Structure 1
Amino acid sequence: MSQQLPAPWTESRPLPPYKAVLAVDAKDFTGLPAVLHAPVSQMIPELVDQALVKAGLTDVQHDKRFPASTGDGIVFGFDPTHLPFVIWPFLNVLDEVLAQYNALSVGPRIRLRASVHVGPLPDEGRPSDGNGTPRNDTHRLLDSRPVKAVLASSSEQTTHLAAILSDRVYEDAVLGGYAGLHPDRCIEVPATVEGKPFAQRAWLFIPSPSASLFRAGVLDSDPPRESDETTGSSASSGEQVGRSYHGNTQEVREGMAVMGDVGGGVSYQGGATHNNATNQHWGGGDNVSGTKNTGASGDQR
């Protein structure tokens, strides 16, 4: 006899335990020759485990919850008490492990996207463990346009990992001061997935940004211009492309812009744009945090 499905909103029931979730996948995996799919698929979890050990997270390595291979990556849950350490130093160590591997490998480079989320997920030793909205959202974040744009626009010689944190992870672990990663190294982005009904605020962290993120636009050597703060930041699609800067505030109506210290990261969205202080909210195109201002070529996937 099949088990009766629960009816939502009819009665209260225990909330599943909170689990943190890490997902990674490789850039351009499907573009590799078929003979390389299996070796690269096997290499990804090995590199992740190597980084976990180097980051001192052997407990996470040995106690992965509901682990699964996605072919071009892996996903697993872990005790959320380790969440600050997965954010830092693990993500930074994973970037270093990938850099070392790519420098020595005679095969294709492995460049990864990573997403980190947390939420209530069943974990009772059943085949269905780990299924729920938090896990679905982890995969949506991984496939979102901003994090894909980072690897598409950056140098394969320098930028090996682009990570995206859910807003919940950022608020609890980063802003809460529990992680060793300063909030100024994270860039706020609207995470959207083409063809999917998904849109959430998220935060990019790029351990090793590359100079090509600047070269993706036209370098503006003119001094920053004072913006008219009485002008709204939104723009319709028919308006002329333009950029205005005021101190550390940035408006991007279309294309790619670079501003501040490049260590901040990269972000993408379509729509209105503005930047306040060290965090960025932005509009059409890809946006990179840096000390120079550039603008140009729209979304690159």
Structure 2
Amino acid sequence: MSAPVPTPYAKSRPLPPYRALFAVDAKDFTGLPAVQHGPVSQLIPELVDQALERAGLHELRDSKRFPANTGDGMVFGFDPALLPFVLWPFLGVLDDILGAYNKQCVGPRIRLRASVHVGPLPDGDQPGDGNGTARNDTHRLLDSRPVKAILAAASEEITHLVAIISQRVYEDAVLGGYTGLHPDRCVEVPATVEGKNFAQRAWLYVPSPSGNLLQAGVQPREQFAEEDGASADQDQDPVARPGTHYDGNTQRVGKGAAVMGNVGHDMTYTDSSTSYRGTNQHWGGGDNVAGDKRVGEARDQ
């Protein structure tokens, strides 16, 4: 007989342990021929485990909590103490492994969206472990408009992974300085899901940007490291110029809003809030831009 469903707010009870969550799913999986669904579904966890091994996360590879194959991807929980290492270097290593696989594969390319979140979840080796709001939000982040739009707009030859990081993970691991992932490598986005009552602040990380992302100033990991070293040798900051310019993958805007890459829906900016609708960009203040805009030097766009 199943356990009774608890009544919320009726009494106090212990909070479930906090668990970090990692989930991925494959772009255009449902468009594959049916005969390829099974092999691709098995391949994704194998590639993730290879990345965990190469990133030195042997413990995590062997101790996943409530792992599940979702058909077009996978999800698992893990010790939140390992969150900094999942953000860096694991996400970059997974991107490298996907790139190496896609270069030599004779079947469909594997390009993934990933989400990273943390929250209280039951984890007592019981049926139903891992289910809760944190698990639901992890999948909502994975299906959110910004991460889908960025992966769709990027080059399939270069960009193999786009990750979305929850606000809680960003504050604790990134802003806390516990991970090698610098905050300037992350882009704030409003995570919304079409047809779902879901809207959260989140952060995108693209290990290997391409196309419009590069034009907007989002730099690959290796180039970012080189420029970090070069900027440390400068005696003073560059003189600010009017308009919008890009430094690293951080956009500095005098007035209006900053956009990186293509957005698959409208982006409406009013003061400090941002939302996606339709196909055009509308600004509460600043410019209405369609296509590329360049102002002054080549650095200014």
User: Which TM-score band (shorter chain)?
Assistant: 0.7 to 0.9
Q: CA separation of 1:67/1:9 partners in 2, compared to 1, >3 Å: closer, same or farther? A: same
Report how far residue 225 of structure 1 moved: 8.1
The aligned amino acid for 1:58 is H
1:76 aligns with 2:76: yes
Match in the other structure for 1:49: 49
Q: CA separation of 1:294/1:44 partners in 2, compared to 1, >3 Å: closer, same or farther? A: farther
Give me the CA root mean square deviation: 3.1
Query: After superposition, what is the alpha-carbon deviation per residue over 1:19-40, rounded to whole angstroms, capped at 9, x for unaligned?
Result: 0000000000000111111111
Report how far residue 270 of structure 1 moved: 3.6
The aligned amino acid for 2:93 is V
Query: After superposition, what is the alpha-carbon deviation per residue over 1:41-69, rounded to whole angstroms, capped at 9, x for unaligned?
Result: 11000000000000000111000000001
How many pairs are equivalent? Answer: 258
Report how far residue 272 of structure 1 moved: 1.6
1:249 aligns with 2:249: no
Structure 2 counterparts to residues 223-242 of structure 1, below 5 A = 226=242
Is the CA contact 2:267–2:280 (under 8 Å) kept in the aligned structure 1?
Answer: no
Is the CA contact 1:52–1:61 (under 8 Å) kept in the aligned structure 2?
Answer: yes
After TM superposition, the score normalised by the length of structure 1 is 0.77
3-state secondary structure, aligned to 1:196 = coil
3-state secondary structure, aligned to 1:147 = helix
Match in the other structure for 1:39: 39
3-state secondary structure, aligned to 2:164 = strand
Match in the other structure for 1:172: 172
CA distance in structure 2 between the partners assigned to 1:142 and 1:48 by the alignment: 16
Match in the other structure for 2:269: 272
The aligned amino acid for 1:181 is L
Structure 2 counterparts to residues 16-35 of structure 1, below 5 A = 16-35=16-35
After TM superposition, the score normalised by the length of structure 2 is 0.77
Report how far residue 7 of structure 1 moved: 1.1
3-state secondary structure, aligned to 1:9 = coil
The aligned amino acid for 2:22 is L
Is the CA contact 1:147–1:267 (under 8 Å) kept in the aligned structure 2?
Answer: no
1:90 aligns with 2:90: yes
Among 270, 285, 296, the residue aligned to 2:290: 296
The runs of 5 or more residues in structure 2 that have no matched partner are 217-239, 282-286, 292-301
Q: CA separation of 1:295/1:54 partners in 2, compared to 1, >3 Å: closer, same or farther? A: farther
Is the CA contact 1:185–1:205 (under 8 Å) kept in the aligned structure 2?
Answer: yes
Q: CA separation of 1:96/1:267 partners in 2, compared to 1, >3 Å: closer, same or farther? A: farther
Match in the other structure for 1:220: none
Q: CA separation of 1:251/1:196 partners in 2, compared to 1, >3 Å: closer, same or farther? A: farther
Is the CA contact 1:206–1:266 (under 8 Å) kept in the aligned structure 2?
Answer: no
CA distance in structure 2 between the partners assigned to 1:286 and 1:62 by the alignment: 46
Match in the other structure for 1:67: 67
Query: After superposition, what is the alpha-carbon deviation per residue over 1:131-176, rounded to whole angstroms, capped at 9, x for unaligned?
Result: 0000000000000000000111000000000000000000000000
The aligned amino acid for 1:249 is V
The aligned amino acid for 1:271 is T
CA distance in structure 1 between the partners assigned to 2:69 and 2:94 by the alignment: 18
Is the CA contact 2:268–2:274 (under 8 Å) kept in the aligned structure 1?
Answer: no
Q: CA separation of 1:48/1:245 partners in 2, compared to 1, >3 Å: closer, same or farther? A: closer
Report how far residue 248 of structure 1 moved: 1.6
Query: After superposition, what is the alpha-carbon deviation per residue over 1:78-111, rounded to whole angstroms, capped at 9, x for unaligned?
Result: 0011000000000000000000000111111100
CA distance in structure 1 between the partners assigned to 2:22 and 2:124 by the alignment: 19
CA distance in structure 1 between the partners assigned to 2:139 and 2:280 by the alignment: 21
Report how far residue 113 of structure 1 moved: 0.2
Report how far residue 3 of structure 1 moved: 2.7
Q: CA separation of 1:125/1:152 partners in 2, compared to 1, >3 Å: closer, same or farther? A: same
The aligned amino acid for 2:268 is G
Is the CA contact 1:166–1:201 (under 8 Å) kept in the aligned structure 2?
Answer: yes
Is the CA contact 1:19–1:78 (under 8 Å) kept in the aligned structure 2?
Answer: yes
Is the CA contact 1:24–1:142 (under 8 Å) kept in the aligned structure 2?
Answer: yes
The runs of 5 or more residues in structure 1 that have no matched partner are 217-223, 228-243, 288-292
1:115 aligns with 2:119: no
